Amino acid sequence: MDAATPLLADYRGLPGTWDELFTESGAPRPAFRRAFDALDVHTRAGFAVCQGLAERALLNQGVTFSVYSDQRGTEKIFPFCLVPRIVSAPDWAALERGLVQRVRALELFLADIYDRQRILADGAVPADLVLASKSWFPQLRGVRPVGNVRIHIGGIDLVRDPKGIWRVLEDNLRTPSGVSYVLENRIISKRVIPDVLDAARVEPVDAYPARLAESLRSVSPVDPDETSAVVLTPGPYNSAYFEHSFLARTMGLELVQPADLFTDRDRVFCRTTRGPRPVHVIYRRIDETYLDPEVFRPDSLLGVPGILRAWAKGNVALANAPGNGVADDKAVYPFVPDIIRYYLSEEPLLAQLDTWVCAREDDRRFVLEHLGELVVKAVDEAGGYGMLMGPQATRAEIEDFRKRVQAEPRKYIAQKRLELSTCPTWVEGKGQVEPRRVDLRPYVLNGREGPWVLPGGLTRVALKEGSYVVNSSQGGGSKDTWVQKPEAT
C-alpha cells in the first residue's frame, strides 16, 4: 500500500464494534455512498496535504485551549481529524426526538426538586440519593427562574453500542462546552474538503449563535428588544476562554468578567464608561459555586455578591440556572428513564448504559466483586478524571479503587465497558486511516418556545490506538459531525 492508494481502501472496522461509516462486511453504509465516493477520490498523500492545511488553519485562527499545567499559559489546538463523522437523516430524527424528550423531563425534574419534590415524595426516585448530591443546593429551593427555564443549554453525551443503538453516556446541564469547535470544524471542512461536504448534503450548523442569542433573550425579565444580555467568563486564563470569546463575538454580546458586574437593590448592573447599565440575561460560563460569594463561598473574592438574590427575585436570568448539577449527577443518571416516565408518562426514547450505584448495598457488593470488568466513575468528576477502566487496570489500581468505593460509596457508580463505535480516523504517524472510538455531544437549546437541537454536534475521538477515552485532557481529538438532510420525497 502506498501514498497513491485511495483513502478508504482496505479500511476494516474492529470486530464486535459498530463502525459509523462501514458495515460489518466492509462496505460503506448505503446512506453515505455519495459522501464516500467523494472522500475516496482523495489518495492518502492528497489527504495528508488536506489534513495539514486544516491544522494550520486552526492554529492561525487561534482556535486554542489553554493548558492549566503550564505557567506561561501555553495555548494548544484541539487535535482535529478531517475525516467526518456522518449521521443519516433517519438516525438523526430519532435522536432529536429522544433528546427533546430527555431535556423536557430533566427540566421538569429540576423544577420539582427545587420546589415541592413530588417525585421524591412519591418514591419514583430515591430521595436519599438525590438530596446527597454535592450539586443539590437547598438554599436555592423555592426559586422560580424568570422564563421558567433552567437548562438553557444542554450537552448530552451519546455513544453507540455494537448493535448501532445510541445510548446516553451522561448529561451536561451546567456549563456544557465545545460548541465553538463544532462551528470552527465546519468552517475547516468547507474550506478544505468542500466537494465531499457538498456530496454528503449536510445540515448547516452556523445558525447556532443566533439561535442561542434568541433563546437567551426569550427568557429575559424585560422586553426582548430592551434586553441587555452578556456572556460571563472567569477570564482569559480559563481553558475555555477561546469559546467564551467566540460565542460573545458571534452573538454580538459583550463578554464580561465577574468584577465588571455588581448588584444594587437586587438588580444586576455592568460598570461601563457611561456609568452603570442594567443587565437582564447572563450566559454564565463560570462555575456556580464561584458565582456569588454571599451564597457559596464567603471566603471567595471571585463572583458577583448578591447576584443570586437578583436571580431569585426574577430580575435577571442566569443561563444555565444554578443548581442544575443535581440532575446531571452520575448517581441520578440511572433514574432518568424513571424521571421521563414520571413526568411525561412516556417511554424513554433513548437507551442508557446499565449502571450500578455504589450507594446501594446490593449494587456495591456486585461492583466490588467485579471491579476488574467494570468502569468505575466518580459522580462529581468530569473530563475522564477519577475513573477506573477495570479491564485495562493494574491490580494496584483496582485495589486503590476498592478502598475508595468502600470509603465513600455515594461518590461512585459503575458501568460495563461499552465497545464504543468507531469511525475512520486519520493516523498521522502512519499516513492512513484506522478505526478509532468516538462519542457524540449534541447541543440542545431551550427557551420559552421549548427545546431545539443543533443538527450536528461535537464528535470526540480517542486518537490513541485501543483507547476508550475521548476527552481532550486525555489525548482525544474532534471531528466534524455531518447530519445529512432528509431525502426529498
Binding site for other proteins (CB under 8 A): 60, 62, 235-236, 242, 245, 248-249, 254-257, 259-264, 270-276, 293, 304-306
Q: Which is nearer to other proteins, 305 or 431 (CB)?
A: 305
Nearer to other proteins, 98 or 209 (CB): 209
CB of 153 to other proteins, least distance (A): 19
Nearest distance from residue 44's CB to other proteins, in Å? 32
Least gap, CB of 305 to other proteins (angstroms): 6
CB of 280 to other proteins, least distance (A): 15
Least distance between other proteins and beta carbon 209 (Å): 12
d(Cα 260, Cα 53) in Å, to the nearest integer? 39
C-alpha cell at 47: 489527504
- Nearer Cβ to other proteins (193/261): 261
> How long a stretch of residues is the chain?
489
CB of 254 to other proteins, least distance (A): 6
For residue 193, give the nearest of 89, 88, 86, 84 by alpha carbon: 84
Q: Which is nearer to other proteins, 61 or 352 (CB)?
A: 61
- CB of residue 249 vs other proteins: minimum separation in angstroms? 4
Residue with cell 482525544: 476
- Residue 260 or 338: the one with the smaller Cβ distance to other proteins is 260
Question: Grid coordinates 468542500 are at which residue?
Answer: 194
- 75 neighbors 64 (Cβ within 8 angstroms): yes
Residue 256 CB, nearest approach to other proteins (Å): 6
- Specify the residue, 282 or 350, whose C-beta has the smaller distance to other proteins: 282
Asked if 447 contacts 216 with a C-beta cutoff of 8 angstroms, the reply is yes
By beta-carbon proximity to other proteins, the closer residue of 73 and 383 is: 73
